[in-house]
Amino acid sequence: MQSILEVAVWWLSIASIVWAMFEFDRLLRWEIEHYPQCWDEDGRPRGYLCKPPGAYVGPWWRPLEAKNRQIALARRWLFKTPNWALNHANCQSWLRRYRLASALGFFSIVFGAVLTFTS
Protein backbone atom coordinates (compact mmCIF):
# COMPACT_ATOMS: atom_id res chain seq x y z
CA MET A 1 0.00 0.00 0.00
CA GLN A 2 2.80 2.38 0.84
CA SER A 3 4.45 1.85 -2.55
CA ILE A 4 1.24 2.96 -4.29
CA LEU A 5 1.24 6.10 -2.16
CA GLU A 6 4.90 6.73 -2.99
CA VAL A 7 4.27 6.40 -6.71
CA ALA A 8 1.24 8.69 -6.50
CA VAL A 9 3.23 11.34 -4.61
CA TRP A 10 6.10 11.20 -7.11
CA TRP A 11 3.65 11.53 -10.03
CA LEU A 12 2.02 14.48 -8.27
CA SER A 13 5.42 16.14 -7.91
CA ILE A 14 6.21 15.66 -11.61
CA ALA A 15 2.81 16.98 -12.68
CA SER A 16 3.14 19.99 -10.36
CA ILE A 17 6.59 20.87 -11.66
CA VAL A 18 5.43 20.66 -15.29
CA TRP A 19 2.42 22.82 -14.39
CA ALA A 20 4.71 25.42 -12.75
CA MET A 21 6.94 25.43 -15.83
CA PHE A 22 3.93 25.95 -18.08
CA GLU A 23 2.68 28.88 -15.95
CA PHE A 24 6.15 30.45 -15.88
CA ASP A 25 6.36 30.24 -19.66
CA ARG A 26 2.90 31.78 -20.00
CA LEU A 27 3.96 34.73 -17.84
CA LEU A 28 7.23 35.09 -19.72
CA ARG A 29 5.51 35.12 -23.13
CA TRP A 30 3.07 37.75 -21.84
CA GLU A 31 5.93 39.88 -20.53
CA ILE A 32 7.74 39.62 -23.87
CA GLU A 33 4.64 40.56 -25.84
CA HIS A 34 3.43 43.45 -23.68
CA TYR A 35 6.52 44.68 -21.81
CA PRO A 36 9.60 43.83 -23.90
CA GLN A 37 11.71 46.45 -22.11
CA CYS A 38 11.10 44.63 -18.79
CA TRP A 39 12.08 41.33 -20.39
CA ASP A 40 15.27 42.99 -21.62
CA GLU A 41 15.97 44.28 -18.09
CA ASP A 42 15.43 40.76 -16.76
CA GLY A 43 18.25 39.58 -19.00
CA ARG A 44 16.10 38.17 -21.84
CA PRO A 45 15.79 34.69 -20.28
CA ARG A 46 14.19 31.83 -22.12
CA GLY A 47 11.32 29.77 -20.79
CA TYR A 48 11.39 26.19 -19.59
CA LEU A 49 9.35 24.82 -22.46
CA CYS A 50 9.79 27.59 -25.03
CA LYS A 51 12.67 29.63 -26.41
CA PRO A 52 11.44 32.99 -27.64
CA PRO A 53 13.33 34.72 -30.43
CA GLY A 54 15.95 37.04 -29.00
CA ALA A 55 16.33 35.05 -25.78
CA TYR A 56 19.79 35.07 -24.27
CA VAL A 57 21.67 31.89 -25.13
CA GLY A 58 25.11 32.74 -23.82
CA PRO A 59 28.52 31.79 -25.17
CA TRP A 60 29.18 28.14 -25.89
CA TRP A 61 31.89 27.91 -23.22
CA ARG A 62 29.42 28.96 -20.46
CA PRO A 63 26.32 26.87 -21.16
CA LEU A 64 24.72 27.42 -17.75
CA GLU A 65 24.74 31.22 -17.91
CA ALA A 66 21.41 31.39 -19.76
CA LYS A 67 19.88 28.79 -17.42
CA ASN A 68 20.97 30.83 -14.41
CA ARG A 69 19.10 33.88 -15.74
CA GLN A 70 15.98 31.78 -16.15
CA ILE A 71 16.25 30.31 -12.65
CA ALA A 72 16.88 33.73 -11.10
CA LEU A 73 13.74 35.15 -12.73
CA ALA A 74 11.67 32.11 -11.75
CA ARG A 75 12.81 32.47 -8.14
CA ARG A 76 12.12 36.21 -8.15
CA TRP A 77 8.56 35.73 -9.43
CA LEU A 78 7.90 33.17 -6.69
CA PHE A 79 8.26 35.83 -4.01
CA LYS A 80 7.77 39.19 -5.73
CA THR A 81 5.09 40.26 -8.17
CA PRO A 82 6.58 42.19 -11.10
CA ASN A 83 5.31 45.76 -11.48
CA TRP A 84 3.91 45.08 -14.95
CA ALA A 85 1.65 42.33 -13.54
CA LEU A 86 0.07 44.41 -10.78
CA ASN A 87 -2.73 45.84 -12.92
CA HIS A 88 -3.53 42.77 -15.02
CA ALA A 89 -5.96 40.19 -13.63
CA ASN A 90 -4.72 37.45 -15.97
CA CYS A 91 -1.14 37.92 -14.84
CA GLN A 92 -2.19 37.89 -11.19
CA SER A 93 -4.04 34.63 -11.77
CA TRP A 94 -1.09 33.06 -13.62
CA LEU A 95 1.28 34.14 -10.84
CA ARG A 96 -0.96 32.56 -8.19
CA ARG A 97 -1.08 29.33 -10.18
CA TYR A 98 2.67 29.41 -10.74
CA ARG A 99 3.28 29.86 -7.03
CA LEU A 100 0.74 27.19 -6.08
CA ALA A 101 2.19 24.67 -8.54
CA SER A 102 5.74 25.42 -7.35
CA ALA A 103 4.78 24.98 -3.70
CA LEU A 104 2.86 21.79 -4.46
CA GLY A 105 5.83 20.43 -6.39
CA PHE A 106 8.27 21.31 -3.60
CA PHE A 107 6.20 19.82 -0.80
CA SER A 108 5.32 16.70 -2.75
CA ILE A 109 9.03 16.09 -3.43
CA VAL A 110 9.79 16.48 0.28
CA PHE A 111 6.88 14.21 1.22
CA GLY A 112 7.89 11.68 -1.41
CA ALA A 113 11.45 11.65 -0.13
CA VAL A 114 10.25 11.12 3.43
CA LEU A 115 7.99 8.27 2.32
CA THR A 116 10.70 6.66 0.23
CA PHE A 117 13.53 6.85 2.73
CA THR A 118 11.55 5.94 5.85
CA SER A 119 10.08 2.76 4.43
Annotated domain spans of the chain: 2-117
34, 84 Cβ separation under 8 angstroms = yes
The pLDDT score that the predictor gives to residue 54 is 92
Q: pTM of the predicted model, to two decimals? A: 0.91
Q: pLDDT value at position 1?
A: 61
Is the distance from CB of 24 to CB of 45 less than 8 angstroms?
no
Alpha helices in the chain (DSSP H): 2-34, 36-41, 65-79, 89-117
Contact 49, 21 (CB under 8 A): yes
Host H or E run for residue 51: none
- What pLDDT is recorded for position 98? 98
Mean pLDDT in consecutive groups of 10 residues from the start of the chain, 119 residues:
87 97 97 97 94 89 89 97 96 98 97 90
